[in-house]
Amino acid sequence: MKAQRVEVFVCPSATPADTSGLQALVDAGKIKPDTLVALVGKTDGTGFHDDWGRIWADAALREWTAKLLGVAKDEVARHVIFVLSGGCPGVITPHIAAVTREWVEDAKPSTEKRLAVGRAGSESIAPEEVGRMGMIRKVASATHEAMEDAGIMDPKDVHLVMVKVPGLTVASIDDAESRGHTVVSHDLTFGPEGAGSYANDAAALGVAMALGEVPASRLSDDVVRRDWDLYSEVAMTSSGGEKRHGEVVVFGNSTASVSPLVIGHSVTKDFIDAQGVRDALRSAGLHFKDGLPDESDLGRLVHVFAKSVIPGSDQIRGQHITLLDDHNAYQIGKALGGMLVASVTGRTTNYVSGGERNSHQGPPGGNIVAAVVRTRE
């Protein structure tokens, strides 16, 4: 039997261009050109629109990866998926997590489900489909393909789906309109009516559709960023104007994997719900004592992936907060998610993206937390 063996290596980054940790993994034989599946990281910088830290990190990592794979820089994306989330406010340590997948021949069948990953590209998504059913359906299809690639049959075994989709640009809007189509928004930002937000949220609903979290019958153009009761518990999505099709990476558990790792997830019920973080870690097999991971278990925690979407309401458990009116809400919202996770994991190298207001990524007011844990053996 041929089985996959997935590993996740977390490398702190001293600067946005720091690839030394990744290179050390290559030198140690842990990352090989044909096993590298994804680089998922938090980059040093403000996280705002003009955050050059993220852009520098992207350039440096792409160059490093091109060299590793022996391909041209603009071909890297065909081989390795990059998910770089800008901004490490507060207690989020800049880092890159390398996800590798090796195929092991003659593996003996596993009884326990272990971490499996799969990926797929979607069909090309036209600008008029961005943030609408067209995008939802194509992301749903790609999610199914990625599950297949991962060897995961049961949607319940999927614990994290990272998706990148096209956003809108001045050029792509012109293109759509010149062909007689409308677009979801002329606002190119990630604001409440921004095309970026619509794209991210349609992608999340695509995952929800694929996994059966939301029945197809309830989906339509009109529900995107309107009906917050429709959401995925495992989709983390991002969008960029320059892309033309979507990319999907599915993380789940499968008996077709001989990985030493397991993934689990949960959601927080609101913005201050540390219990949701604990539930995610438990879901992946950690035990707890007085709110913190059991000392002997803590070393088994490999990585946490969390969203920190800020709530659409100015109330938390009946009390008024002023975050929605804060000029720095985006940055502070992300920082707060970082604290919520770090206060439970006892470490700061957590992947926490977010800051936007409201999303179909996670329940209204709450957020997604996924955790990867090393098994005891």
Angle between helices 274-283 and 329-345 (to 10 degrees): 50
Please identify, using beta-carbon distances, which residue of 90 and 260 lies nearer to a second copy. 90
**Cβ atoms 201, 225 nearer than 8 A:** yes
Q: How far is the CB of 162 from a second copy (least distance, A)?
A: 23
The torsion angle over the Cα atoms of residues 85, 87, 89 and 93, rounded to 10 degrees, is: 60
Q: How far is the CB of 181 from a second copy (least distance, A)?
A: 16
Running DSSP on this structure, what letter comes out for residue 226? T
Interface with a second copy (CB under 8 A)? 12, 14-17, 44-46, 48-53, 55-56, 59, 88-94, 185-189, 191-194, 271-275, 278, 288, 290-292, 316-317, 319-323, 325-328, 331-333, 335-336, 339-340, 342-344, 346-349
Within 8 A by CB and 6+ apart from 119, the residues are: 37, 38, 81, 146, 149, 247, 248, 249, 250
Q: How far is the CB of 304 from a second copy (least distance, A)?
A: 13
Please identify, using beta-carbon distances, which residue of 126 and 344 lies nearer to a second copy. 344
Q: Which of 164, 232, 259, 266 is catalytic?
A: 164
Please identify, using beta-carbon distances, which residue of 33 and 90 lies nearer to a second copy. 90
Instruction: Tell me which residue of 242, 246, 76, 221 sits closest to 144, measured CA to CA.
Output: 246
User: Does 269 qualify as catalytic in the annotation?
Assistant: no
User: Does 343 qualify as catalytic in the annotation?
Assistant: no
- For 183-201, letters b (16+ CB in 10 Å) and e give bbbeebebeeebbbbbbbb
Instruction: Tell me which residue of 352, 371, 355 sits closest to 286, measured CA to CA.
Output: 371
Please identify, using beta-carbon distances, which residue of 131 and 151 lies nearer to a second copy. 131
Within 8 A by CB and 6+ apart from 193, the residues are: 185, 187, 225
Q: How far is the CB of 145 from a second copy (least distance, A)?
A: 34
Please identify, using beta-carbon distances, which residue of 71 and 332 lies nearer to a second copy. 332
Q: How far is the CB of 48 from a second copy (least distance, A)?
A: 4
Q: Which of 238, 254, 308, 353 is catalytic?
A: 238
What is the DSSP annotation of 178-190? HTT---S-S--SS
Enumerate the active-site residues. 164, 238
